[in-house]
Amino acid sequence: MSSQSSAEVQALITANAELIAKMNSMQLEYQEQARQFRESLHSQAAASIQETRDENHRLNQELAAMQARLVRGATQTSSTVQPDIEMGDTAARAPHPDHVRDPRDWHHHTPTKDPRTRPQVSPRPATGQPSPTPPDQSHKPKTPTLRTKAPSTTPRSSPNPPPPRRSSPRNPLPPHSSPKPPPRAPHTSNPSRPSSSNASTPSSQAKKGKPRGRSERKTGEHQMLSGDTAPDAVTAKTALQLHIRFSWGCLDSSRAPVSAAPEVVKLFELRFKGLTVAELKRTGQYGTNLIDPSDVKLGVRMEEVVLTRNKIMALFSRLEEGALLHIRAYLAKLGISTWAPDFSQSPYSLYNMAMRMCAIDTFRFLIAGTHYDFLRPNTSVIQDPALLFRMYDHFVHHYMFEKWKVEIRVPGGNEIATERNKAIQNRIRLYKSRDMYLQSIHAPKGVHLMFSLKATSDDESTPKGPRALARDERSHDADRVVRAVDKLLRVAPPVAECNPSRFDEIPKGMPIQYYDADWFNNRPAHARAKLAPKRIVTFVPNSSDFFSHRSDNGLGVEHLTEKYGAEVFAQYDLDYATPEDNSEAGSDRNHGTTGPRAGSDDSGESVGTHDSDSDDESINDGASADSFLTDDEAAGDKDDGEFEGDDSISDEYEHGVGSQDEGRDEDGERAAFAAEYDISMGDLEAEIFGESGDESI
């Protein structure tokens, strides 16, 4: 039994070995076939590529030969001089060899054939005689002919015929029959003589090239646009501006810069009268001190830097004593106790040049000495004096000069602009926080339409927390929608306790439910028409459930308008309406359902006593405030951008923006709201505080 089992095992082993051998042979055969197939494909592809290359080479040669024939024919035709007319009939009746053309054939000159066009048949003369066939030009011998200088114009696609000869009694011309002109090549034009259809004035070309909309802004004499500064030089620009502010004493952005005193400028000019700019520079760097360096006053005392809450001043508390000594020594050599340019003189006067050299030289010294490392500037900029000069002129003689002019025209205008700018930034942050939250909870689209930047009040920050401000034109129901959103962001006081907002621009094109009915009806008809309210219903009237999708709250704007439109519209005086307005109601209704941002594009316009047709005040509502500071989209627009709002930010953190009155149970308010609207408490906290759970916001 055991011998039989061993025989079977041996047979199985033998069969397995045979199968393995067959598989190996099949694998080798398959690999060989695959190799042969790849080689055949490679050879076929190489042959096809070579054939294509040969064909392209042959076509290029034919095109080159054709072009050479066209150029040669055009040159010969344009440079040939017609024979003298004085030869008369004898010359006309003389036998013509093959290489001499009959002058009568000049009217029937056949241009060189272009293989791309069909051959044209020359018309017969009116006398009925057949026109002579031009002899073969390929084997004609060269004859001495007078030649003129070939024209320098670009040859056309076909040579021009020779000019016609004059008619005379001795040598009359046959009746002329103009041949059909050769076909014009598609889209060929002479660049030296553009056609009238394609010709356009520079103004029309500018109109075609520029998109419609806002016209190109004019730049000032010393103004730098934002694109004029390389991205890697922005940090150096900020450091230079802060260095100038520190030397000048203008670290507070709400204060206007001061110009140099006239007596200081007069004394300086008397000391350095007759010196050149180069001599003045050597005096400032290597000359003797004209005044004691201790008499030089920098703009800010170090005691103020330490005690102030201004972040710009706090930065300069890190400035070492060696840097201050260098600035004082440079000014002492020029005999100047306080650094300040003179805005009553030219930017390139002797005194202002001294101020420019002092600011740039001391800045380069402080950068090279690593005194400004806390500002993290790009140190390679100090090797580019031309760029530093442009940055200086833009900041001092454009940006700060405009602020100085504002203070001259409107005393205290810069402080007013700074306060308004802080309120605008608060307004923008509040609008963005509301809009982001509505998107995160997927609120009904009608609720989104009740929010826009112009329809947002500027909530104040007080020691007890933020204070909600009301708008006169906003209805009670619209206030309830806004405060319902604020309940999730912060505990807001009731609407009855809200003070009026300082922004009196009335938003245009808002849903009709946004406007208070009494306020709306008391306005004149033309003012109501200018508001152009959207006649749609965005939420259920007299409801406090704005975010859930239960019952009618889940309906879209179109269905809400159909169901509650009569009830809502009856509260408003719409007598100014026209048939066109009624026809637009449906389009407004459809437009209102397009997305969360619908209706916010037109909300930047305002009506009333502060009308503004400008579209500049879009999402960046700071344009009106920035007009006090700078009126261009230049690099100077952000001169104070990184530090201008530091005071307000410091106050907000100190007084606790987003913090609530003591004794209020904020968590209880959120829990009650979450229970009312079927929102998970964990999702609610994640939406408000983010994943970190930090409630410091």
d(CA 260, CA 265): 7
H-assigned helices in 371-412: 385-394, 401-409
Three-state secondary-structure class, residue 486: helix
H-assigned helices in 501-578: 517-521, 525-531, 557-569
Q: Which two tokens stand for residue 206?
A: 């500018």
Residue 52, pLDDT score: 93
Element (H, E) at 27: helix 2-79
Q: Which two tokens stand for residue 113?
A: 């054939």
Contacts of 416 (CB under 8 A, 6+ apart): 410, 628
Q: Compute φ and ψ for 506, nearest 5 degrees.
A: -90, 125
d(CA 689, CA 683): 10
d(CA 152, CA 192): 12
Tell me whether strands 499-500 and 469-470 are parallel, antiparallel or unpaired: parallel
* C-beta separation of 446 from 540 below 8 A: no
* C-beta separation of 514 from 472 below 8 A: no
Amino acid at 143: T
Task: Count CB atoms within 10 A of the CB of residue 4.
Answer: 8
Tokens 């940090």 correspond to 235
Task: Count CB atoms within 10 A of the CB of residue 16.
Answer: 10
Q: What is the DSSP letter of 692?
A: T
d(CA 547, CA 560): 15
- The residue ranges of the chain whose pLDDT is under 50 are 81, 83-101, 103, 106-110, 115, 121-123, 125-161, 164, 167-169, 173, 176-179, 185-213, 491-494, 579-666, 673, 677, 679, 681, 684-697
With 0-12 / 13-18 / 19 or more C-beta atoms within 10 angstroms meaning exposed / middle / buried, residue 470 is middle
Tokens 């010294």 correspond to 365
Q: Which two tokens stand for residue 366?
A: 């402080």
* C-beta separation of 508 from 606 below 8 A: yes
Cα 12 to chain centroid distance, Å, stands at 80
Residue 21, pLDDT score: 92
DSSP string, 251-313: -STTSPP-PPPHHHHHHHHHHTTT--HHHHHHHHHHS--SS-GGG---SS-HHHHHH---HHH
Question: Helix, strand, coil % (nearest 5) of the chain?
Answer: 50, 5, 45
Shortest CA distance to 695 belongs to which of 662, 437, 687? 687
pLDDT in tens, 108-147: 444 555 545 555 544 454 444 444 444 444 444 444 444 4
Shortest CA distance to 447 belongs to which of 571, 575, 600? 600
* C-beta separation of 283 from 268 below 8 A: no
Question: What CA–CA distances, in Å, run from 40 to 35, 49, 434, 678?
Answer: 9, 14, 69, 71
Residue 51, pLDDT score: 92
Q: Which two tokens stand for residue 417?
A: 């602009």
Shortest CA distance to 447 belongs to which of 567, 620, 562, 592? 592
Task: Count CB atoms within 10 A of the CB of residue 170.
Answer: 10
Residue 601, pLDDT score: 37
* C-beta separation of 132 from 102 below 8 A: yes
End-to-end distance of the chain based on CA atoms, in angstroms? 89
Element (H, E) at 471: none
d(CA 282, CA 682): 70
Three-state secondary-structure class, residue 167: coil
Q: Is the dihedral of CA 152, 154, 158, 160 positive or negative?
A: negative
